[in-house]
Amino acid sequence: MDFELPEELNMLKDMAYKFAVNELGPMSQECDREEKYTPEIVKKAAENGLVGPWVPEEYGGAGAGMLGNCIITEQLSRVDMGIGLNIGAATFGCEAIYFYGTEEQKRQWITPVCEGKMISAGAYTEPDAGTDVAGYRTRAVKDGDDYVITGNKMFITNGSVCDFYVVQTITHPDEKRHNRFSQIIVPANTPGITRTKIHGKMGIRSSDTAEVSFEEVRVPQTNLLGAETKGFYQLMHFFDTTRPMVAAQGLGLSQGCLDHSVRYAKERQVFGAPLGSFQITLAKLTEMAIRIEALRGLVYKAALLIDEDRPDYTLAAMAKYLSGQTAVFCANLAVELHGGYGYIDEYPVQKFYRDAKILELYEGTKEAEIMTIGRYLLTR
The domain ranges of the chain are: 7-114, 120-228, 233-379
Contacts of 314 (CB under 8 A, 6+ apart): 372, 373, 376
Spell out, as residue ranges, where the chain has pLDDT lower than 50. none
**Taking CA 147 as the corner, what is the angle to CA 217 and CA 145, rounded to the nearest 5 degrees?**
125
DSSP 167: E
Longest dimension (CA), the chain: 79
Q: What is the pLDDT of residue 187?
A: 98
Give the residue numbers marked as catalytic: 363
Contact 177, 130 (CB under 8 A): no
Backbone φ/ψ region at 377: left (φ over 0), alpha (ψ -120 to 50), beta: alpha
CA 211 to CA 152: how far, in whole Å? 7
Domain 7-114: state its class.
Answer: mainly alpha
Q: Report how far Cα 293 is from the mean position of its chain's Cα atoms.
A: 20
Beta bridge partners of 210: 156, 197
Contact 146, 191 (CB under 8 A): no
Beta bridge partners of 164: 120, 187
CA 9 to CA 330: how far, in whole Å? 26
Q: What is the pLDDT of residue 2?
A: 80
Rg (CA), the chain: 21
CATH superfamily of 233-379: Butyryl-CoA Dehydrogenase, subunit A, domain 3 (1.20.140.10)
Q: What is the pLDDT of residue 131?
A: 87
Q: What is the pLDDT of residue 3?
A: 87
Q: Among 1.10.760.10, 2.40.110.10, 2.60.40.1120, 2.160.20.60, what is the CATH number of 120-228? A: 2.40.110.10
